Amino acid sequence: MHLSLLNLYSAAAIGIIIFAMASIREVRTKALLYVLPIPISIGIIATHGIITASNVLGLVLTCLFLIGIRTLVDIYHVPIITADILACIAYVGLGYVLIKLVHLPFIVMSMLYLALWAVVTWWMHTHQVSDTPSKPSALPPSTKGAIAGGISFGIYSFKDLLAGIVVTFPYNGVFAVIEVQHHLNVFVRSVIRNTIAITGLFATMYYLHAQLPLLLNLLAGWIAFGIILRFSQRITV
């Protein structure tokens, strides 16, 4: 797939996700939309369906990215834009170090992630929080989606600078946290719980890579994602 076309598709996907998130008031539903692996699927097609341990490592970094922003904003009262920028810098820096130092097989990385996810999810389940209704924004959802899509295209155009450092940079997360800045606690908890479904997509595609053509393998991954996501909603966080 041509690089500029891939950038356009990825930016459009992010714009659509942010548009949908802005149209919905319920924060936990926004978190469901956030984890839809639409940009990931575009990237998988562009890389011919190759799944590695770095994809799972990217999930860990994404969770840390969201936790970092929530900590800066809710605890240290850092402005959301500043927190977003700082988290992005930390993400890239930590990603660079881990990519250089961590060379684990896919199954090992996946098991470590599942163990970490289980501990964190159990803690969130036993320390639940309540959410307050979100207030309407001054900007209409279409404007937010257009702005997010335009900025995303610019970021994607320079993503080769991050190639080999962080392969699953959360481009949509940069804009999603701004959309839900007043409900970060509930949003972050819901996203972390839901990432287990993305692990299912990665694992399915990893083990069926040699048996299925790319599009069928991606479809199988989405089916696994949907099944796991549905069951994960039974876990209250």
For 85-115, the pLDDT digits (tens) are: 899 889 888 887 888 888 899 999 999 999 9
Give the per-residue pLDDT at 165.
42
Three-state secondary-structure class, residue 145: helix
Band (pLDDT 50/70/90 cuts) for residue 30 is confident
Residue 140 — φ and ψ, nearest 5°?
-70, 155
Any idea which of 46-55, 195-204, 227-236 has the lowest mean pLDDT? 46-55
**Amino acid identity, residue 152?**
S
Q: How far apart are CA 4 and CA 14, in angstroms?
A: 15
Q: Residue 15 — pLDDT band, cuts 50, 70, 90? A: confident
Q: Mean pLDDT throughout 71-77?
A: 93
Annotated domain spans of the chain? 3-232
Ramachandran quadrant class, 48 (left: phi over 0; alpha: psi -120 to 50; beta: rest) = left
* Residues 170, 65 contacting (CB under 8 angstroms): yes
Task: Say if residues 175 and 13 touch (Cβ distance below 8 Å).
Answer: no
How many Cα atoms sit within 13 Å of 187 on the Cβ side? 29
Phi, psi for residue 133 in degrees, rounded to 5: -60, 140
CB count in 10 Å sphere of residue 125? 13
Which whole number is the average pLDDT over 203-218? 95
- Mean pLDDT of the region 63-80: 93
